[in-house]
């Protein structure tokens, strides 16, 4: 039997002013073009590959345009195409934020196999690729190039909200980006997502909880085709004492550290719940946790495997 969560009152939203700035960055081939299209559709003025040296001047101009109180929503895409200047981006963002500019940074990432396949399908060269490569060395060189890109962008990734696009369809990515930018950047957002371990641990997870040791509805014939959102599966899992015990433990852990995460000025914290297929146990537990934390923080809910399978 689970116990109710003691509410942790969220702070009053701070006014971010009429200028809303979103920085989109990440690993090449991870979906930045799709993300920028989603932001443009959401009413953002979008600029792709803005030189880092011009970022400060551009934001000053946008602040002047917003000085009359007219809301301005701006999205800027910056990535490894900036070359040797990419190292200047993180300190530049710190300077702007210290100057009172509210900037949200979204970092898109994907698994190596998926990135290599995407480049193979599009036949586009990686921005860091050498100009001349022996045919047999092309894939090895691409992998090494992506690894170098990860190294160069590691600091920026650490300071951003990460979205793992490995198994996302473009429509899913557009939806997730829109939901992220709709959330108030001044309020901590808890993202609960279910996933399948057979597809790998999501790259965007801050905390990962493995629930594969729990009784599995997959082996109950009438429950096998259902999901953790269906009444039959919910009833089955609610009858398992281990499920309730683990939920209370996860809930207590998050409630204990939620104030510290807020004090650390985190905008988003992603909690990933994984089971074998991402269909029953992880879905139910992500749903339960999301519902119980709605009074304590802003909450987003994702089901990776269900979305990928169309359920």
Examine the domain organization and report whether 124 and 198 are in the same domain. Answer: no
Residue 8 belongs to some domain of the structure: no
Q: 207: domain range?
A: 189-309
> What tokens were used for 5?
């969560």
Q: What is the structure's pLDDT at 89?
A: 87
**Which of residues 130, 149, 182 is at a domain's end?**
182
Examine the domain organization and report whether 142 and 262 are in the same domain. Answer: no
Q: What is the structure's pLDDT at 138?
A: 65
Q: What is the structure's pLDDT at 107?
A: 95
Residue 281 belongs to some domain of the structure: yes
Residue 240 belongs to some domain of the structure: yes
Q: What is the structure's pLDDT at 67?
A: 78
Compute, in degrees rounded to 10, the torsion defined by CA atoms 75, 87, 270, 15: -50
Examine the domain organization and report whether 222 and 173 are in the same domain. Answer: no
Residue 14 belongs to some domain of the structure: no
CATH code assigned at 94: 3.40.50.300
Examine the domain organization and report whether 291 and 194 are in the same domain. Answer: yes
Provide the domain count of the chain.
Answer: 2
Q: What is the structure's pLDDT at 310?
A: 62
Q: Name the 3-class secondary structure at 98.
A: helix
Q: What is the structure's pLDDT at 50?
A: 86
**Which of residues 182, 202, 236 is at a domain's end?**
182
Q: How many CB atoms lie within 10 A of CB 259?
A: 13
Distances in Å between the Cα of 244 and the Cα atoms of 4, 195, 238, 281 are 11, 19, 7, 12
Q: What is the structure's pLDDT at 5?
A: 38
Phi first, then psi: give them for residue 136, nearest 5 degrees.
-70, -20
**Which of residues 160, 182, 204 is at a domain's end?**
182
Strand pairing class (298-303; 103-109) = unpaired
Residue 178 belongs to some domain of the structure: yes
How would you write the pLDDT of the chain (311 residues) with one tens digit per residue? Answer: 443 333 333 333 333 457 889 999 999 999 999 999 999 998 999 999 888 888 888 888 888 887 777 778 899 999 888 776 787 888 888 888 887 788 889 999 999 999 988 887 877 778 776 544 444 566 678 888 899 899 989 989 988 999 999 988 898 999 999 988 887 766 789 999 999 999 999 999 999 999 999 999 999 999 999 999 999 999 999 999 999 999 999 999 999 999 998 888 788 899 999 999 999 999 999 999 999 999 888 899 999 988 666 66
Examine the domain organization and report whether 172 and 121 are in the same domain. Answer: yes
CA 199 remoteness from chain centre: 17
Examine the domain organization and report whether 169 and 240 are in the same domain. Answer: no
Examine the domain organization and report whether 44 and 121 are in the same domain. Answer: yes
Burial class (CB in 10 A: 0-12, 13-18, 19+), 243: buried
DSSP per-residue string spanning 196-265: EGGG---TT-SEEEE-TTS--GGGSTTTTTS-TTSHHHHHHHHT-HHHHHHHHHHHHHHHHHHHHHHHTT
Q: What is the structure's pLDDT at 4?
A: 39
Residue 11 belongs to some domain of the structure: no
Examine the domain organization and report whether 35 and 106 are in the same domain. Answer: yes
Per DSSP, helices labelled H in the chain are: 32-41, 55-65, 89-98, 112-122, 138-158, 170-182, 231-238, 241-263, 281-292, 304-309
Residue 292 belongs to some domain of the structure: yes
CA dist 210 and 273 (Å) reads 6
Q: What is the structure's pLDDT at 1?
A: 40
Examine the domain organization and report whether 104 and 211 are in the same domain. Answer: no
Q: What is the structure's pLDDT at 62?
A: 86
């Amino acid at each position: 039997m689970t116990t109710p969560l003691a509410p942790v009152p969220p702070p009053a939203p701070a006014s971010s002013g009429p200028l809303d700035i979103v920085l989109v960055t990440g690993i090449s081939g991870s979906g930045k073009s799709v993300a920028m299209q989603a932001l443009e559709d959401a009413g953002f003025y979008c600029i792709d590959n803005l030189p880092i040296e011009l970022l400060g001047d551009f934001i000053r101009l946008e602040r002047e345009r917003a000085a009359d109180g007219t809301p301005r929503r701006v999205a800027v895409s910056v990535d490894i195409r900036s070359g040797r200047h990419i190292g200047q981006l993180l300190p530049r963002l710190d300077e702007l934020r210290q100057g009172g500019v509210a900037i949200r940074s979204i970092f898109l990432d994907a698994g190596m196999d998926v990135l290599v396949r995407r480049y193979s399908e599009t036949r586009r060269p990686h921005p860091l690729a050498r100009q001349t490569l022996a045919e047999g060395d092309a894939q090895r060189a691409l992998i090494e190039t992506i690894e170098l890109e990860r190294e160069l962008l590691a600091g920026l990734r650490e300071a951003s909200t990460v979205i793992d696009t490995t198994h996302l369809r473009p429509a899913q990515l557009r939806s997730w980006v829109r939901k992220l930018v709709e959330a108030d950047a001044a309020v901590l957002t808890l993202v609960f997502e279910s996933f399948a371990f057979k597809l790998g641990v999501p790259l965007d997870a801050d905390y990962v909880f493995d629930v594969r040791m729990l009784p599995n509805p997959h082996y109950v014939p009438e429950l096998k085709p259902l999901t953790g959102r269906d009444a039959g599966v919910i009833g089955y899992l609610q009858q398992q004492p281990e499920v309730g015990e683990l939920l209370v433990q996860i809930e207590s852990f998050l409630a204990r550290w939620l104030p510290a995460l807020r004090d650390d000025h985190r905008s988003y914290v992603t909690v990933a719940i994984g089971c074998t297929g991402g269909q029953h146990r992880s879905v139910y537990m992500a749903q339960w946790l999301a519902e119980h934390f709605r009074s304590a923080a802003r909450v987003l809910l994702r089901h990776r495997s269900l979305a990928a399978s169309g359920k």
